[in-house]
A and B are shown apart, each in its own frame.
Chain A
Amino acid sequence: MSALIHVRGLGVRFQFDRQGRPVTPAAARIRRHCTSAWGLRGVELEIAPGECVALVGPNGAGKTTLLRAIAGVLAADEGSVEVQGRLGPLLSVEAGLVRLLTGRESCRLLCAMAGLPRGRVRTLLPELQAESGLAEAFDRPVSSYSQGMRARLGFTAIAYTEPEILLLDEVHEALDLEFRELLEARVRRIARDGGIVVAAGHDHEELERLASRAVLLEGGSVSADGHFAKVARAYFDGVEAATA
C-alpha cells in the first residue's frame, strides 16, 4: 500500500442566512443578507506513506473541517485535496450511526457505506460482534449506547474495511483503555504497511502515542507543522501567552 494526502491551498467556506443557519451556495444566491466565513483558508499539507499526523489546536481552529475535507465529505471552495488510498473515516462518535438501528444494523450500514458488499458484511457480523466487545448490546438500539460503546462500534466496523488512511476525530478519546490499545496497534499496523493516520483531538498524551508529527491549526490555517513535541510546545506557549 502507498497512501498519500496532498492538500494544496485548501479553502472551505461556510455560508449563513440572516438567522445564522448554514446554507448551500445555491440557497445563498436566492436569499438576501447571507454572510460567509472561511473554516479553512490557504492550508498546505503533504502527508507521506507511513506517517501518523496529529491535528492540534483550539476549538474552531479547523481540525474537523480539514479531516472532513480529506475524507471527501466537504468540498473544497479553493485549492484541492488529493487522496490516494482507501479511506477509513471516524469523524465523530456518532458517525454513520442511526439511533433507531441496533449495533448489528448500524454495522451493516457503515460497512456498506465504506464499500464492503452486503453479502460479505453478513458473514462478518459474528466477528464484528465479538471484536466490538458489545456482546448482547450489539442487538440493542444504538440510542441505548454510551459514547464509548458507539466509538467501539464505529471503530470496529471501520477497521473491518481495511482502511489505508485512517481519519480520527476525537473518537479515540471516547474509547476505554482496552480499546485504545487495540486502536494504537491498528495505527501502528497501518503506518507499517505504508498507510496514513490523521488524528485530531485534545488529549495530547494519547495523540503523542499515535503520532510523531503534529500540525497546529489556528483560525483555519496551519501555524506550525513538525515534530509532535515541538508543535505541542508552540501550541501551549500560545495558550499561555493569550491567558497571561
Chain B
Amino acid sequence: MPRLTFAGHLEVLLALTEADLRARYGRGPWRFAKWLLDPFALVGVYLVLVAVLLNRPGPAPGLSLACAVVPFQLLMATVISSMASIDDRRSIVANMAFPRILIPVAATLTEAIAFAASLLLLVIMMAIYGVGPTGALVWLPLVLIVNILLAAAVAYPASLAGLWVRDLRPFLVSFVRTLFFLAPGLVALDQIHGAAHDLIRLNPLAGVFESYRAVFLHGVTPATWQLVYPMAVAVAVAAVFVPIYRREQHYLAKVVG
C-alpha cells in the first residue's frame, strides 16, 4: 500500500466522498434540489404530520421530536451506508491499494453532508411553533461535532458487521432503530420519571437528542453530560473497533474481490 502523507489521506478521503455524492445526487441543476428535498422525503412528512395533526404533550412537540429524529437520521444513515460501504466500493477495494481505513470516514462524511440539509427541518419546525433563535445556537457547532463523531465511531463496527455477518444486516438496522426508542426520542427526558429517567441517560443518543433540544427548543446551554457522555462513548467505540478494522483492512479484497 502506498505511504500517504496526511494531505494524501485527505485527497483520497475527499475523492471517495465526492464520488459518493455524485453517485447519490447526480449532476446538473437538480442535484441541489435533490439534496435539499431528500430529508423531507425521509422524515419531513412524518414530522409535519406530528406537528400539525397530532395533539402531543409538552412544548412544541413537533420541534422536540425533530430534535431527536434529525440527529438520529445521521446515525442511522451512517450505519446503513457503512454496512454496505465495502461492497459498494468493490471495484476500488479489489483492485487498488489505498488506505481502506478511510472508507467508514468517507461514508460518515457523505452522510454528514446529506444531513446538513435536514437542519432546515429544524428551522421549519421552529417557524411552525414560533420558537425564535437564541444565543444558545453558539453551541450548535459543538453539538454537531459530537453527533458526527458518534456517527463516525459507529461507522467502523457497522462496516465490520456488514462484512462479517452480512445476513444479519436487517437485524442490525433494527437494533440501531431500537436505540432510538430506548432514548428520549418520542418523549423528552424531562417528561420521563423514576428509574427509567436514569437508565435512559445511559444511551448515548439521550445526550445528543437533549443537546439539540437545549439549543433549538429551550434556548439554553446544553448540560455537560449531554455532550461529554456521547463523546466518551464515541471515543470508546473507536478505541475498540478502529484497531480491529485496521487489521481487517488487509483482507477486504479477499472478501469482495
Interface residues of A (CB under 8 A from B): 12, 14-15, 21-27, 30, 68, 71-75, 87, 89, 91-92, 94-98, 100-102, 105, 108-110, 112-115, 117-118
Contacts and interface: CB of A to CB of B under 8 A. Distances in A.
A109 B15 contact: yes
A71 B254 contact: no
B18 interface: yes
A113 to B, nearest CB: 5
B164 A98 contact: no
B141 interface: no
Contacts of A15: 254
Nearest to B20: A98
B94 interface: yes
Contact of A23 (B27, B164, B250): B164
B253 A87 contact: no
B178 interface: no
Given A89-B96, A115-B4, A98 B254 contact: no
B174 interface: no
Contacts of A95: 91-92, 94-96
B54 interface: no
B254 A97 contact: no
B19 to A, nearest CB: 5
A23 B11 contact: no
Nearest to B26: A100
Q: Which of A15, A25, A96, A108 has the most CB of B within 10 A?
A: A96
Contacts of B133: none
Q: Which of A71, A101, A105, A109 has the most CB of B within 10 A?
A: A109
Nearest to B255: A22
Contacts of A24: 163-164, 248, 251-252, 254-255
A208 to B, nearest CB: 25
Given A89-B97, A101-B23, A118-B11, 10 more contacts: A21-B166, A23-B164, A26-B247, A92-B91, A92-B95, A108-B15, A108-B19, A109-B92, A113-B92, A113-B96
A75 B96 contact: no
B2 interface: yes
Nearest to A154: B95
Contacts of A117: 7, 11
B92 A96 contact: yes
Contact of B95 (A12, A75, A89): A89
A98 B21 CA distance: 12
Contacts of B1: 72
A78 B89 CA distance: 27
Interface residues of B, number: 36
A101 B92 contact: no
Contact of B163 (A27, A105, A118): A27
A14 B247 CA distance: 16
A98 B19 contact: yes
A105 B26 CA distance: 11
A98 B23 contact: yes
Given A89-B97, A115-B8, A68 B257 contact: yes
Nearest to B95: A95
25 contacts: A24-B252, A24-B255, A26-B244, A68-B257, A71-B95, A72-B97, A89-B96, A91-B94, A91-B96, A96-B96, A98-B19, A98-B23, A105-B18, A105-B19, A105-B22, A108-B18, A109-B15, A112-B15, A113-B96, A113-B98, A114-B96, A115-B2, A117-B7, A118-B11, A118-B14
Contact of B19 (A22, A72, A101): A101
A49 B42 CA distance: 57
Q: Which of B1, B19, B96, B166 has the most CB of A within 10 A?
A: B96
B12 interface: yes
A171 to B, nearest CB: 10
Nearest to B2: A115
Contacts of A115: 2, 4, 8
Interface in B24-54: 27
Contact of B2 (A30, A87, A109): A87
A206 to B, nearest CB: 21
B10 to A, nearest CB: 10
B164 A27 contact: yes
Q: Which of B8, B22, B166, B248 has the most CB of A within 10 A?
A: B22
Contact of A92 (B11, B15, B23, B94): B94
A86 to B, nearest CB: 8
